[in-house]
A and B are shown apart, each in its own frame.
Chain A
Amino acid sequence: MSVNLTLLLVMGVLYACGIYLILERSLTRVLLGLVLLANATNLLILATGGYAGLAPFFSKGTDSGDYNDPLPQALILTSIVISFAVTAFMLGIIYRTWALARQDDIQDDAEDRRVAKTPSFDAEDDAEVPQETSEFPLAAIAAGHTPDHPEAADHPGLAGSTPLNDDEGGGPR
């Protein structure tokens, strides 16, 4: 199978740029990276179709090896449509992120950060087990008084609302 060298080089450059871009933190660049990756893949599919040939319409007297392979082109068409839809959706998301947070960056998960900061000591799980755990301790009833409950240990505060919501409406319009 003969392969077009220009096609391969373009494909390689597109993949390299695409991968570089999706590693960025800016959403717009990530989107551009995804578009480049999709187009590089389309070129790859085109390359698998082999050498260029006649349009695959049946005509008498043409050898079957002279036609172009129509299947990769059908696949490319489908994948173009799909990447078009995904790109449109991503643009919508980027716009929404901008409207909510006034920034173009990918943000961290608040709950994730909170779990990462959790100390390994858990006030409830690691506390010493009291000898008497029943709700109606016999010793206490016999002595004629109720045991006072230990106060629940204080925790560092819950992660508040997410940074996205804090900024909502606050930015310049």
Chain B
Amino acid sequence: MNAASLAPLAVVLPILGAALTFALNRNPVAQRMVSIGLLALTLLLECWLLAAVWTTGTSSVTLGGWLPPFGVVMVVDQFSSLMLVVSSVVSLAVLVYATGQGMADGDQEAPVSIFHPTYLILVAGVSNAFLTGDLFNLYVGFEILLTASYVLMTLGGTGPRIRAGVTYVVVSVVSSVLFLIAIAMIYGATGTITMADLAVKLAELDPATRNLLHVMLLVAFGIKAAVFPLSFWLPDSYPTAPAPVTAVFAGLLTKVGVYAMVRTETLLFPGDTLNTPLMVVALLTMVVGILGALAQSDIKRLLSFTLVSHIGYMVFGLAMSSVTGLAAAVFYVAHHITVQTSLFLVTGLIERRGGSSSMDRLGGLAKLSPMLALLFFVPAMNLAGIPPFSGFLGKVGLMQAGMELGTPLAITLVAGGVLTSLLTLLAIARVWNRAFWRKPDDAEYPDPVLKDTAAVGLLPRTMVGSTAALVVFGVALTVFAGPLFQLAGNSAEQMLDRTAYIQSVLGGDAIVPGKAAPGTDSGPSLQGGAK
């Protein structure tokens, strides 16, 4: 039995939980126990997967007994298992936070009976997207998580949420259609949709066809990852959803898009055909995103813009297609999932304590609730890349890789990265100054709650606790940055090498393009009959 045999459980367990919680919708206590318990179990399983992959290397499992390249495979390598662990930690923390909010508020903000099943489906979709080794199954994973996110986005059906939901749903559906068109064309060109098999067969295609397929996939994933020209929908739709929902969307959904981009760039279309446009796009994403953040006066919208902006760092790391660049990008993804989610959770707490998330109405929160100030300060400094934190380490990794590459464009991007980091600090410092430091009286329209010192008990312990746990996890990423960077480096090496991935799916004697053939030179020619 190899390590991957248990991988499908990472998808099955949350779906099972969704079915159970749906059946238990009249019993909120049991619902909470089931969903938190099953998600914790999934997390343990994924930690075990990570450990197993660390020792034994990439492994894969075929589903339903159809052998690759015909059936659906799931592949566990270091990158996917790292993403699984981080995403599960984050989704567990958000789930605990949401139950805390649900218990405190009743059903008004987040109708709990439908929240739990939908949330678990979302987690299942994310796990599926991370694990799958089949392009169409990746589409299905995306659709699972998107459909769940449509429901979560419009939870409660209030006016602003429906308005934001419409944009979100239409944009997501269009990106899915683009992805599906790309899949159809790839199938038409190669006769397969198993990613490992595609890695072999796409190399044999005419360069013009290859580039067309490459661009189509990148555009589809670029919409999901909110890369600059395709990022307009994100700051419009995320801020209106309930706080825990925005937090989990910000942490996970765009990163699934980034994950898919990484797989496209490294496994399916290696080489540097599109590196220059990707770098330009990364620079624009960073700078335009952060300039958008500076214009905002609502904390949730400001954070949505920093989210877009920092996607640029990951695309930058990816576009260098060197081991150091990719390793820094992998590290940055893990760091950013945690930090961005914690910041949105803290904003939910700010909204509870200060009555609003608009900076015009906030003030004096540092005095009112020092705990809240600490919970905001640590991830905020982490996001801005202040030295001891993981954000700094990730950015330094990217800068080093950029200088190593040394082309004028790469150096421009390094400069752009430093500028974005400074502007992030400025945006975050504005939030800090206005919401936390100034006196409530100095606010333009101070919220009456700010002066009501008797209301300090408003923050439920579960919500503060889960936010604190996530902040501590973010700090742990800093403390254990050494091993994490090693893991990121290993996964970057494996992704650029591709041998382990392809051979774990297609068998030990499969030929990896660009590498010396391990055995005989007669590749299986499955496409011959399609002419």
Interface residues in chain A, defined as those with a beta carbon under 8 Å from any beta carbon in chain B: 1, 22, 27, 30, 34, 37-38, 41, 44-45, 47-48, 50, 64-65, 69, 71-72, 75, 78-79, 82, 85-86, 89-90, 93, 96-97, 100-101, 106-107, 109-112, 115, 118, 124-125, 152, 155, 158, 162, 164-165, 168
Whether B140 contacts A34 by the Cβ 8 Å rule is no
Chain B positions within 8 Å of A96 at CB level: 154, 157, 162
Question: Using an 8 Å CB-CB cutoff, how does the interface string of B430-451 with A read, 1 for contact, 0 for none?
Answer: 1000100000001111000000
8 A Cβ contacts from B353-399 to A = 358, 360
**Known pairs A44-B181, A75-B183, A111-B298; A106 contacts B136 (CB<8 A):** no
**What is the 8 Å Cβ interface bit string for chain B, positions 412-446, against chain A (1 contact, 0 not)?**
00000000000000000010001000000011110
Contact partner of A50 (CB less than 8 A), chosen from B136, B166, B180, B530, is: B530
CB proximity of B40 to chain A, nearest CB, Å: 29
- Which of B44-52, B108-116, B184-192 is found at the contact surface with chain A? B184-192
Encode B516-531 as 1/0 by CB contact (under 8 A) with A: 0000000000000111
Contact A106 B295 (CB under 8 A): no
CB distance from A149 to the nearest CB of B (A): 8
Nearest Cβ on chain A to B437's Cβ, whole angstroms = 12
Q: A106-B166, A118-B295 are in contact. Are A41 and B181 (CB under 8 A)?
A: yes
Q: Does B402 contact A (CB under 8 A)?
A: no
Interchain CB contact under 8 A, A45 and B184: yes
Instruction: Name B's interface SS.
Output: helix
- Assess the A155–B360 pair: CB atoms within 8 A: yes
Contact with A along B155-181 (1 / 0, CB 8 A): 001011011111101100110110011
A37-B174, A86-B147, A109-B164 given; A48·B185 CB < 8 A: yes
State whether A111 and B187 are in contact (beta carbons under 8 Å apart), knowing that A90-B169, A106-B166 are contacts in the complex: no
- Give 7 pairs: A residue, B residue, CB < 8 Å, sorted on A: A34-B170, A71-B70, A97-B162, A106-B167, A158-B360, A162-B160, A162-B163
Q: Name the CB-closest residue of B to A46.
A: B184
Chain B residues within CB distance 8 Å of chain A: 70, 136, 140, 143, 147, 150-151, 154, 157, 159-160, 162-167, 169-170, 173-174, 176-177, 180-181, 183-185, 187-188, 193, 236, 239, 295-298, 301, 358, 360, 430, 434, 442-445, 529-531
A93 touches B184 (CB 8 A): no
Contacts of B166 in A (CB 8 A): 27, 93, 97, 106
Q: Return chain A residues, CB-CB under 8 Å to B164.
A: 109
Interface centre among B169, B173, B236, B358 (most CB of A within 10 A): B173
Query: What are the nearest 10 A-B pairs in CB distance?
Result: A164-B159, A48-B188, A45-B184, A44-B184, A82-B143, A37-B177, A41-B180, A48-B187, A100-B159, A65-B529
A22 contacts which chain B residues (CB < 8 A)? 170, 174
Decide if the interface of chain A is mainly helix, strand, loop or mixed.
helix
A79 (CB) vs chain B CBs: closest residue: B180
CA distance A64 to B177 in the complex (A): 32
Which residues of the other chain, A, contact B147 by a CB distance below 8 angstroms? 82, 85-86, 89
Q: How far is the CA of A166 from the CA of B105 in the complex (A)?
A: 25
Residue of B nearest to A167 (CB): B159
In this complex, what residue of B is CB-closest to A99? B157
What A residues does B531 contact at CB under 8 A? 1
Q: Which residues of B contact A47 (CB under 8 A)?
A: 184, 188
> Within 8 Å CB of A44, what residues of B?
181, 184-185
- Known: A48-B184, A124-B434; 6 extra A-B contacts, CB below 8 A, are A30-B170, A89-B151, A96-B154, A109-B164, A111-B301, A162-B160
Contact A168:B529 (CB < 8 A) given known A27-B166, A111-B298, A111-B301? no
- Across the interface, do B165 and A115 meet the contact criterion of CB distance under 8 Å? no
Complex Cα spacing A127 to B436, Å? 20
Chain A residues whose C-beta falls within 8 Å of the C-beta of B174 in the assembled complex: 22, 34, 37
Q: Which residues of B contact A38 (CB under 8 A)?
A: 177
For the complex formed, measure the closest distance between the CB of A71 and the CB atoms of chain B, giving whole angstroms.
Answer: 7
